Structure 1
Amino acid sequence: MAKITSEALGIEPVGKLLIKQAVPASIGILVMSLNILIDSIFVGNWIGSIAIAAINVVLPVSFFIAALGMSIGVGGSSIISRALGANNKEKALKTFGNQITLSLLFMVSLVVLGLVFVDDIIPKFGGKGDIFEPAKIYYTIILYGVPILGFAMMGNTVIRAEGKPKFAMTAMIIPTVSNLFMDYLFINVMDMGMHGAAWATTGSYLACFLYIFWFFSSKNSELKISFRHLGLQKEIVSEIASLGGVTLARQAVVSITYLLMNNILFDLGQEGLVAVYAIIGRMLMFALFPVFGVTQGFLPIAGYNYGAKRYPRVRESINTAIKYAAILATLVFIGLMIFPAEITTLFLSNNPNLAPKELALNQYVLSHTAEPMRWVFAATPIIALQLIGAAYFQAVGKAIPALLLTLSRQGFFFIPLILILPKFYGELGVWISFPIADILATLVTGYFLNREVRTKLITESS
């Protein structure tokens, strides 16, 4: 089999190339999403709905710290893709070295702070009542593994920037398989409860990190750095920060959203509605995997060709990515509109041997999730434009529009909506905020993307 190199990003037909990039990315995201989904199913059936709610409280905290690794990875990978496209390998090597140093400095510092303020953080993210204790157990153990996950997420984006999507896919599959195996062992066989769920997840982070470390140590990677590349350089750090800040800001807004949602829903329906949102949140991560896969596959293609000034190929990649993502999003939408109740039953057990309180809570969640799920996914067919549009600006190094468009859905529209609409419509106000925010963000993104194509990609290529 011929060795895959980054030059293929500028040579192969865009449609074929996008499939080649997006399919491994989609499979990787699918497997990673299945990890979260099946993990929740295991926890819900073997421990209970309170455990699902507890994990939902912890997720935004651990995701935010792990997102530091991803943001450093995405910011640096945009530079690496463009540097390889411009045949500037030394800049690519320096960027990768700076990514490693930044990851170590930031993530370790934040984990220490997270452990010091554990009792303050968990209640603020909705870990109240019966949710607090299991959330604290899960949070404390998970936090130990988050720096490892951060390095793994950073490395994964760099692998994709090199044009090696199959290796990136494998890196996402490994933690999923190991987590599910350890879930079964620690929770079901060894009866470790929340401790078992947390250690299984932390162990899976380590497995992923070891594989990525092997990749960069092997001949498969073009990026062979030395100690001189690890020294921070102001220009590179500044560019990584400006571009990676888009990803970090997006995850920060996601964490704020979880904080607000958990607290608003707890006030409206106590632990039950928090558990409902936890299930819907898992489906948000899982169901849209093919759309996110197309977005991830699009990034290196757009970045490489923009760096090489092949603007017609950039335009073609935008149009093709939107078309593929829209078709997939519509298929997801149809499935979720038809089978929301059946999906919900996968997460919880109606085992009569459960404690009466836990059984009653399970029954409440089972009967109250289908309608909110339909509302949350009501605008799914149109989100492709919003995702690809925001990703384009990030891929080509335009940090400010990328940041604003990335934040538009949740930061500018969704958060204000969930603060206002529940005051008038109660629980329904929470759920209808999702499609309204999707529609508004898509309209804004479509306007700016169209203007960019007309003024930059068409004008400068003619």
Structure 2
Amino acid sequence: MAKVSSTELGTESIGKLLIKQAIPASIGILVMSLNVLIDSIFVGKWIGSIAIAAINVVLPVSFFIAALGMAIGIGGSSIISRALGAENQKKALTTFGNQITLTVLITVGMVIPGLIFIDDIIPGFGGKGAIFDPAKIYYTIVLYGVPFLALCMMGNNVIRAEGKPRYSMIAMIIPTIGNLLLDYLLINVLDMGMYGAAWATTLSYLMCFAYILWFFLGKNSELKINFSHLIPSREIVSEIGSLGFVTLARQAVVSIIYLIMNNILFGLGGEALVSVYAIVGRMLMFVLFPVLGITQGFLPIAGFNYGAKKYDRVRESVNKSIITACVVGLLVFLLIFFIPDVFTRLFLKNDGSLTAEELKTNAVILAKAPGALRWVFAATPIVAVQLIGAAYFQAIGKARPALLLTLSRQGFFFIPLILILPGIYGETGVWISFPIADILSTIVTAYFLNREIRRTSGIKIDS
């Protein structure tokens, strides 16, 4: 693999850079999304649809703790990209060292109470009735591996900030392949059920951590830290915190949404509707991978060039990222709109071993999931404006607007809608909340993004 320098972020054409950054990021996200998708398919076919619902209950808790690492990674990476652009190597090293210290201390501190209060947390997130026991098994085992996942998420963002997206891609592929192979071995061959699904996930986190550690200890990384860099700096920690809080707040809102959605849907239709939402959630993770990849690829390009005061290149990166992502979003919408039933059937067990209750649950899922998918993905062609717009403010180090715009879609619009519309329209109210929130947040983000670009460069972005 050819050695890549971060300085290319400020010299190579934006189009080529976006391809170099976005394609590996997209592939990495695709593979990770396939991991979640195929993992759910394996669990659904080899264990049952209730097991999918059980994993869906656990995800917001484990993902929130892991998102602490992602928040520290993205917040610190914004600092690192701008520091490298400004040729401030000392600040980049201190930031990375502080990221490691914060990730270890915070995530381990979160896992302990997470295990102590397990019997209260699982029902609170919708793990009721038949869902509780398999959810508890999965939750307990996976939580032990979450600190390693957090370190992987943190380290992966730093690798991307160095301008080495291919290594970042590999870091995302390794745990996916490991998890799928272990799923087959532990669930299908050894018949370990939920225990097998949980251990496959946890061991895959350890594989990813081993690769991330190898990268930073080897010759490929520009960031060679020593013990002094691990000592927290008040200024650096504060900046990491303010920028990383944007990502953390977004994940916290996602966890709250899972809590609200699982409870509302359980009340409207029991375990079957919770399973429908689990399928919708997996599809959101899977088919949006190219849009998310473009957003991830855009971050280091915008951050580096902003730090180097190359504002025309920053504006160009915004324009090209949004246009490309919107086109991809349109293709995603068309795919979901025409064949939602095909995706739904992938998750369902269909052999002769199904009980009458399982057959009834599957029938409800098949009847309701396709319509839900169409509504949820209805605004996909424009959602890239919101994602990239919010990411732009994070890339340039403006935490407050980044936070507000990040929260606008799921916090300020979606949560109020999901609390109001189901009371008026029932189950349909749940699903139409998604596109309404997407449209409103896109309008708000486009306004503030356009204003900021004009203030910085004096040139209005393309509409």
Q: TM-score range by the shorter chain?
A: over 0.9
Match of 2:53 in 1: 53
Match of 2:450 in 1: 450
Equivalent position amino acid for 2:380 in 1: T
> Using the alignment, how far apart are the partners of 1:355 and 1:23 within structure 2?
44
Aligned-pair identity in percent equals 72
Match of 2:251 in 1: 251
Aligned runs of 1:391-430 on 2, under 5 Å? 391-430=391-430
Match status 1:134 vs 2:131: no
Match of 2:14 in 1: 14
**How does the TM-score come out when normalised to structure 1?**
0.99
> Using the alignment, how far apart are the partners of 1:226 and 1:297 within structure 2?
29
Equivalent position amino acid for 1:286 in 2: F
Match of 1:148 in 2: 148
> Using the alignment, how far apart are the partners of 1:382 and 1:55 within structure 2?
30
Deviation of 1:2 after TM superposition, in Å, equals 4.7
Match of 1:180 in 2: 180
Match of 2:268 in 1: 268
Aligned runs of 1:68-107 on 2, under 5 Å? 68-107=68-107
Equivalent position amino acid for 1:287 in 2: V
Deviation of 1:305 after TM superposition, in Å, equals 0.2
Equivalent position amino acid for 1:437 in 2: A
Equivalent position amino acid for 1:260 in 2: I
Equivalent position amino acid for 2:275 in 1: A
> Using the alignment, how far apart are the partners of 1:362 and 1:337 within structure 2?
21
SS at the partner of 2:435? helix
**Could you report, residue by residue, the CA deviation over 1:112-156 in whole angstroms, capped at 9, with x for unpaired residues?**
010000000000100001000000000000000000000000000
Aligned runs of 1:190-201 on 2, under 5 Å? 190-201=190-201
> Using the alignment, how far apart are the partners of 1:113 and 1:73 within structure 2?
23
Q: What 5-or-longer segments of structure 1 have no aligned partner? A: none
Deviation of 1:403 after TM superposition, in Å, equals 0.2
Equivalent position amino acid for 1:319 in 2: N
Q: CA RMSD in A?
A: 0.9
Deviation of 1:383 after TM superposition, in Å, equals 0.4
> Using the alignment, how far apart are the partners of 2:54 and 2:340 within structure 1?
22
**How does the TM-score come out when normalised to structure 2?**
0.98
SS at the partner of 2:58? helix
SS at the partner of 1:369? helix
Count of residues in correspondence between the two structures: 460
Given that 1:376 and 1:431 are in contact with CA atoms closer than 8 Å, whether structure 2 keeps it comes out as yes
> Using the alignment, how far apart are the partners of 1:383 and 1:395 within structure 2?
18
> Using the alignment, how far apart are the partners of 1:358 and 1:199 within structure 2?
25
> Using the alignment, how far apart are the partners of 1:189 and 1:69 within structure 2?
33
Given that 1:311 and 1:458 are in contact with CA atoms closer than 8 Å, whether structure 2 keeps it comes out as no
> Using the alignment, how far apart are the partners of 1:359 and 1:192 within structure 2?
23
Equivalent position amino acid for 2:372 in 1: P
Match of 2:221 in 1: 221
Match of 2:344 in 1: 344
> Using the alignment, how far apart are the partners of 1:368 and 1:430 within structure 2?
12
Deviation of 1:365 after TM superposition, in Å, equals 1.0
Match of 2:364 in 1: 364
SS at the partner of 2:232? coil
> Using the alignment, how far apart are the partners of 2:178 and 2:366 within structure 1?
29
Match of 2:34 in 1: 34
Deviation of 1:455 after TM superposition, in Å, equals 1.2
Equivalent position amino acid for 1:113 in 2: P
> Using the alignment, how far apart are the partners of 1:8 and 1:252 within structure 2?
35
Match status 1:284 vs 2:289: no
Match of 2:210 in 1: 210
> Using the alignment, how far apart are the partners of 1:187 and 1:445 within structure 2?
44
Deviation of 1:458 after TM superposition, in Å, equals 2.0
Match of 2:325 in 1: 325
Given that 1:22 and 1:296 are in contact with CA atoms closer than 8 Å, whether structure 2 keeps it comes out as yes
Given that 1:350 and 1:363 are in contact with CA atoms closer than 8 Å, whether structure 2 keeps it comes out as no
**Could you report, residue by residue, the CA deviation over 1:368-414 in whole angstroms, capped at 9, with x for unpaired residues?**
21001100000100001001100000000000000000000000000
Aligned runs of 1:375-390 on 2, under 5 Å? 375-390=375-390
> Using the alignment, how far apart are the partners of 1:20 and 1:333 within structure 2?
25
After the TM superposition, which segments of 4 or more aligned residues of structure 1 sit over 3 Å from their partners?
none
Q: Cα 1:73–1:430, aligned 2, differ >3 Å: closer, same or farther?
A: same
Q: Cα 1:379–1:459, aligned 2, differ >3 Å: closer, same or farther?
A: closer
Match status 1:230 vs 2:230: yes
